[in-house]
Amino acid sequence: MSSEPSQGSTGDVSAPLSCTFCDCRLTEQLLALQSYPGAEATLPTAIPDHGGLTLCPDCASEVVELITSWHRHGQPPVGDDRSIGEGYRAIASTCSFCTNSCDDAVLGVELYRRIGDELPAYANYTLCENCQPVFGEFLENVRGQTEN
């Protein structure tokens, strides 16, 4: 996974990952999402600048519930002439959430791990320009619930 961990590493020994939202120590039961904005898109405010989220089961429960309703698609084509974000634009004609056309700025979302059996171990999703801020606000609300 290309997202940076919530805690760094010291020397040759890696520090354990922590949940992006509540900072608890993570185990194998985690949800990891990596976001890739296309050329005209930006990351929603709830997603760190490196695009990665690692969530514990408690923080991920509502996120899992949302993503189970999304429509998956294949892996984006990438290469020297195309960023990963632009690869999502090339492969997805419809938004994974609202199923409207993805003609403008897109945000690619890759799921790398899962909690339970509701989601696959790896999947690709694309959000249209209108759904990106909705997803960001949703993540902000989930994060806010963990802080209470």
List, for residues 84-101, the tens digit of each pLDDT value. Answer: 988 998 888 899 999 999
69-96 as b/e: b if 16+ CB within 10 A: ebeebeebeeeeeebbbbbbbebbeebb
pLDDT given for residue 16 in this prediction: 63
Max avg pLDDT among 15-19, 109-113, 130-134: 130-134
Give the predicted TM-score (pTM) of the model: 0.81
pLDDT given for residue 129 in this prediction: 92
pLDDT tens profile 41-92: 899 988 988 889 999 989 998 998 999 999 998 899 888 788 898 899 888 8
Tokens of 123: 């999947």
More confident residue, 113 or 7: 113
pLDDT given for residue 72 in this prediction: 92
pLDDT given for residue 86 in this prediction: 87
> CA 139 to CA 116: how far, in whole Å?
20
Looking up tokens 């185990």, which residue turns up?
Answer: 27
Q: Is 144 exposed, middle or buried (0-12, 13-18, 19+ CB in 10 A)?
A: exposed
8 A C-beta contact, residue 127 and residue 66? no
Q: Is 14 exposed, middle or buried (0-12, 13-18, 19+ CB in 10 A)?
A: exposed
pLDDT tens profile 10-33: 344 455 689 999 999 988 778 899
> CA 13 to CA 84: how far, in whole Å?
30
The domain spans of the chain are 31-147
Neighbouring-strand partners of residue 101 = 94
**Cα angle vertex 10, ends 4, 11, to 5°?**
115
